[in-house]
Amino acid sequence: MWFEQVMFFVGAIGALAGAAGVVLLRNPFYSVLALVGHLFSLALLFLLLRAQFLAAAQLIVYAGAVMVLYVFVVAYVGGTDQPLGPEVAGLRKLGALFAVAVGAELCVAIIGSGLSKLDTHGAKVDAGFGTPAQIGQLLLNRFLIPFEIASYLLLIAAVGALVLARRRRGHPDAGAIEQIGHAPPLEGVR
């Protein structure tokens, strides 16, 4: 038991530190790295909750693929140190205020309301809980349609990304590699 609690606190502190790092660090590259740390801590917490497959998926997909994508874009776009404060008056203070308010409300809701009635130690689960086999069973039996739709969603997102970021002919691009053999700008093509 004590091991679980210690691990929980390790994971929690890591997660919170990563989150704070994302928000507070000036350089966006450092923010990305903080988020990666946060994801690792979250994977640890998932393990504590007997969600092995999801912890692995988090590490491979999220921290592995998505964050790498982020790193690429940050390298391309740059984004230098920026002042943290917004220019719109009071947005910073109001933003923090409302975020705190939401957090407080959620905590009050969780702690104060009927959740205390639940068996907080969790139900008895068997050994196969959270394994890829069980997740696979669920995905292909009960949640087949959401599974298929999710794959469609991925396709749409890929196509969308292509459309958004393609280079249009004749359009001036910032920081682009010099075009080999300059194409003359076409009229009316944007």
Partner 1 sequence: MSPTAWGWLILAFPLAGTLVIPLGWRVWPGRVAGYIGSLAILASFVCSVGAFITLHDRAPEARSVTSTLYDYTHTVGVNVGMSILIDPLSVFMALVVSGVSLLIHVYSVAYMDSDRGYTRFFAYMNFFVFSMLLLVLAANIVLLIVGWAFVGAASYLLISFWYRRATASAAGLKAFVMNVIGDVGLVIAAFILFKHTHSLSYAGIFGGAKETFSTNDGAIVAACLLLTVGAFAKSAQLPLHTWLPDAMEGPTPVSALIHAATMVTAGVYLIARFHVLYELAPTAADITAGLAAATLFFAATCALVVTDLKRIIAYSTMSQIGYMMLGVSTGGYDGGLFHLMTHAFFKALLFMAAGSVIAAMAGIQDINRMGGFRRAMPFTFITFTVGALALAGVPPLSGWFSKDSILGFDVHRGGYYLVLAIVGFAGALLTAFYSFRMVFRVFYGDPVPEAGSLERGELAHGEPVNPRTGEHEDTEVGFPGPEHHIAEREFSMKLAMGALALLAIGGGIVQIPGVTDWFDKFLEPVFANSKFVNDQPSTSAEWIGLVVGAGIALAGITTAFVMYLQRPGVTIALRDRFPRLHDFLEHRWYFDELYDALFVRPATTFGNFGRYVIESAFVQGTLVGGATGIVRAGAAIARGVQSGYLRAYALLLLAGVAALGLYFLLQAT
Partner 2 sequence: MNVNWYLVLSAFIFAIGAAGVMTRRNPLVILLCLELMLNAGNLALIAFSRMWGNGDGQVFALVVMVVAACEVVVGLGVIVAMYRRRLNIDVDELSELRG
Site for partner 2 in 98-127 (CB under 8 A): 98-100, 102-103, 106-107, 110-111, 115-116, 118-125
Residue position matching structure tokens 């069980």? 134
Task: Give the Cα separation of 62 and 43 in Å (integer).
Answer: 10
**107 scored as a contact of partner 1 (CB under 8 A):** no
**Which residue in 105, 115, 148, 159 binds partner 1 (CB under 8 A)?**
105
Residue 124: contacted member of partner 1, partner 2, none (CB under 5 to 8 Å, by partner type): partner 2
Estimate to the nearest angstrom the gap between the alpha carbon of 110 and the chain centroid.
23
**Could you give the string, one character per residue 64-93, with x where binding to partner 1 holds by CB under 8 A and - elsewhere?**
----------------------x-x--x--
Residue 79: contacted member of partner 1, partner 2, none (CB under 5 to 8 Å, by partner type): partner 2
> Are the C-beta atoms of residues 14 and 45 closer than 8 Å to each other?
no
Name the token pair of 122: 């969790």
> Are the C-beta atoms of residues 42 and 62 closer than 8 Å to each other?
no
Could you tell me the smallest distance in angstroms from the CB atom of residue 88 to partner 1? 5
> Are the C-beta atoms of residues 62 and 40 closer than 8 Å to each other?
no
Q: Reduce the DSSP state of residue 1 to 3 states and report it.
A: coil
Residue 43: contacted member of partner 2, partner 1, none (CB under 5 to 8 Å, by partner type): none
Task: Give the Cα separation of 152 and 154 in Å (integer).
Answer: 5
**132 scored as a contact of partner 1 (CB under 8 A):** no
Extended strands (E) in the chain: none
Contacting residues toward partner 1, per CB under 8 A:
86, 88, 91, 94-95, 98-99, 101-102, 105-106, 108-109, 113
